[in-house]
Structure 1
Amino acid sequence: MIETTKKFRRRAEARPDEVLDAALAVFVEKGFAAAKVDEVAKRAGVSKGTVYLYFPSKEALIEGIVRRAVAPIALRALPDLEKFEGDPRVPITMLMKVLTQTLSQPEAAAVPKLILREVMSFPSIAALYRNEVLNKVMPALIELIQRGVASGKLRPVDPELTVRSIIGPVLAHVALGELFGIKPAGEGLSLDRLIANHLDILFHGLTPSEVRT
């Protein structure tokens, strides 16, 4: 009886993730507007009432998807960005590698694709992504660039615009591939090659002229 209770508890604890997995699959297939909670429940193998037990609305489902997939990236990156006092290129490289590793997993990669597809029709999704990720990571990146310029490790640049230059190409790359079907030669988005090429161009542009090779 005790073992049965433990199994039931583990199953109950896993259910929110199972529901979110199903919701993500349905949203990607049908689009957020056309997807129905009934379809999510069927995909998850639970009743519609069980879905509403954990997530009271379809909007709550997509909020759960974003928080689960994207917010941990921000939380992992923030300590390194906020405390680092050396060459800013080191934590920037680490952040980009974490991003590459995360987006190489199909389920995790589906989240930014979904956001890009739905963001214009559902501003609340953009607001959620901004609050959970951009409003946390961007100020930390800006301060990192400011410290790099002040210490002479980076040449004088506008910190806020530089952060946009760091983030922008990755977003544009995903958008070109997923929204317009324009992908680089090879397989998939080749995000690892894009990041390596982007960092090479970025770092040569940020490095003070006297230390360039």
Structure 2
Amino acid sequence: MNAAETKPKWRRRAEDRPDEVLDAALTLFARNGFAATKVEDIASEAGLSKGAIYRYFPSKEDIFESLVKRAIAPIADRTEDLARTSHEDPAVLLKAVLSVIAARLSDPDTMALPRIVLQEAGRFPELAETYRRQVIDKGIGALELILQKGIATGQFRPVDAHLAIRNVMGPLLAHMLLTQIFRIDEDAQTTPQDFIESHFDILMNGLLRPRAGG
């Protein structure tokens, strides 16, 4: 057998390996929980050595943070950018942002991350801190800015924007928990956009100024 025949038929590209590690980690975190998953388990799932994992990620917590940055943080960053730079009608912009969030959270891989945080935050508060810093703080700030723009233009009533955000996001999060964890309406053909249409109708009727003479 010559040297060419003894070479492996394929070899992972080094730039692909971090994503392979993250894919393996997400599978194990979602199935077994963060606490029960060891770095060597992730290495085995990814087909790498434990040492190779540490070349890309210093700790299991860093792996989780990288999962958040890859899957959800870009949504928060985009929402933040739109809120600051868009000249779109605030009501139209708010609905568009909520639609994107609902669509992304309907993806089981994306929703797995907040589920892991809810399950493990008591033992690993740093996971909740990571998720809050990378996602929640940015999302709340962006949505609050959209509401403030609507209030400033007179389109929205002068509500407390900081508190109103919880009324905006609360039903959406509750919907995701009910459908993905408790499997409510699992057989119904309800899409994320169907919920947004219903939620936004109720939300806007509570935010918009009454029309003169109405």
Provide the TM-score with structure 2 as the length reference. Answer: 0.85
Corresponding residue number in structure 1 for 2:64: 62
Corresponding residue number in structure 2 for 1:198: 199
Corresponding residue number in structure 2 for 1:113: 115
CA contact (8 A) 1:38 1:48 kept: yes
For 1:66 and 1:27, the matched residues in 2 are separated by 13
Corresponding residue number in structure 2 for 1:41: 43
Alignment of 1:102-141 (within 5 A): 102-141=104-143
CA contact (8 A) 1:166 1:202 kept: yes
Structure 1, residues 168-202: CA drift from partner, whole Å, max 9, x if none? 122222334455x2523535985333222211111
Structure 1 residues 25 and 83, CA, compared in 2 at 3 Å: closer, same or farther? same
Identity, in percent, stands at: 42
Q: How many Å apart are 1:33 and its aligned residue?
A: 0.7
Structure 1, residues 74-108: CA drift from partner, whole Å, max 9, x if none? 11112211123443111111112211332333322
Residue in structure 1 matching 2:176, options 174, 177, 185: 174
Contiguous gaps of at least 5 residues in structure 2? 1-6
For 1:189 and 1:129, the matched residues in 2 are separated by 28
For 1:107 and 1:37, the matched residues in 2 are separated by 20
Alignment of 1:12-91 (within 5 A): 12-91=14-93
Report which stretch shifted further, 32-41 or 130-139.
130-139
Number of residue pairs matched by the alignment? 206
Q: How many Å apart are 1:15 and its aligned residue?
A: 0.5
Q: Per chain length, whose mean CA-contact separation is higher, i.e. which structure has more relative contact order (CA < 8 Å, sep 6+)? A: 2
For 2:133 and 2:30, the matched residues in 1 are separated by 22
Task: Read off the aligned partner of 2:207 and give its amino acid letter.
Answer: L
Structure 1 residues 205 and 44, CA, compared in 2 at 3 Å: closer, same or farther? same
For 2:16 and 2:206, the matched residues in 1 are separated by 47
CA contact (8 A) 1:177 1:189 kept: no
Structure 1 residues 198 and 18, CA, compared in 2 at 3 Å: closer, same or farther? same
Q: CA RMSD in A?
A: 2.5
Contiguous gaps of at least 5 residues in structure 1? none
SS of match in other structure, 1:130: helix
For 2:74 and 2:39, the matched residues in 1 are separated by 26
SS of match in other structure, 2:13: helix
CA contact (8 A) 1:19 1:44 kept: yes
| Bigger share in helix | 1
Q: How many Å apart are 1:110 and its aligned residue?
A: 2.0
SS of match in other structure, 1:210: coil
CA contact (8 A) 2:93 2:146 kept: no
Task: Read off the aligned partner of 2:193 and give its amino acid letter.
Answer: D
